[in-house]
């Protein structure tokens, strides 16, 4: 029996009271679980692509009008986001030996309403030191607005807030302006 069928049977067995009281149906609960799983995967791929310096794959996680807001400014659209990363980090050399950072991400808190969602997660960023050791560089919080486009979740807006060192992602830094492709 397929895994989805088993999961549906388990949900139906556990939720007879919810069905009688007008709560979510097993199908609705399954859809929510699938949406949360897809959103978690998207957020993990964000860090994975950034650490691998695969800036094209990273930028493709954003909606066509998706916005990235952080220490480098505000950038709208995948092309502008990719260009910002290439300008600030250069292009990647192939192979894991060239990696200079590693993001560790917390489990996100996700709220879903139809084809829109909001997620809050935390991160710890390690960088490679001159003597080739991992060194904590910063920790912070991501606030994401997400949108489902043609069945696929995309980042509509990501704001990164520095906790250590402190930096409010919504506050414009000196000379910061929105950049479009």
Q: Which residue has the higher pLDDT, 22 or 75?
A: 75
- Contact of 161 with 169, CB cutoff 8 Å: yes
pLDDT at residue 95, as a whole number: 62
pLDDT tens readout for residues 1-39 = 555 555 555 555 555 544 456 888 999 999 999 999 999
> Which pTM was predicted?
0.79
Question: Helix or strand or coil: residue 87?
Answer: helix
pLDDT tens readout for residues 82-132 = 999 999 888 766 666 667 788 999 999 999 999 999 999 999 999 888 898
Q: In the chain, what are the domains? A: 25-170 (3.10.450.50)
């Amino acid at each position: 029996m397929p895994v989805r069928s088993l999961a549906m049977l388990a949900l139906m067995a556990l939720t007879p009271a919810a069905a009688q009281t007008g709560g979510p149906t097993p199908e609705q609960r399954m859809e929510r679980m699938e949406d949360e799983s897809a959103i978690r995967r998207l957020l993990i791929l964000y860090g994975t692509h950034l650490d691998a310096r695969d800036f094209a794959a990273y930028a493709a996680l954003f909606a066509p009008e998706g916005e990235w807001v952080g220490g480098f400014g505000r950038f709208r659209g995948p092309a502008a986001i990719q260009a910002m990363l290439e300008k600030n980090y250069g292009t990647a050399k192939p192979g894991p030996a060239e990696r200079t950072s590693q993001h560790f991400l917390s489990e996100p808190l996700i709220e879903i309403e139809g084809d829109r969602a909001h997620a809050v997660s935390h991160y710890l960023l390690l960088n490679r030191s001159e003597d080739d050791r991992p060194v904590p560089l910063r920790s912070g919080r991501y606030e994401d607005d997400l949108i489902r486009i043609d069945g696929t979740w995309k980042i509509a807006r990501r704001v990164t807030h520095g906790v250590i060192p402190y930096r409010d992602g919504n506050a414009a830094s000196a000379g910061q302006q929105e950049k479009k492709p």
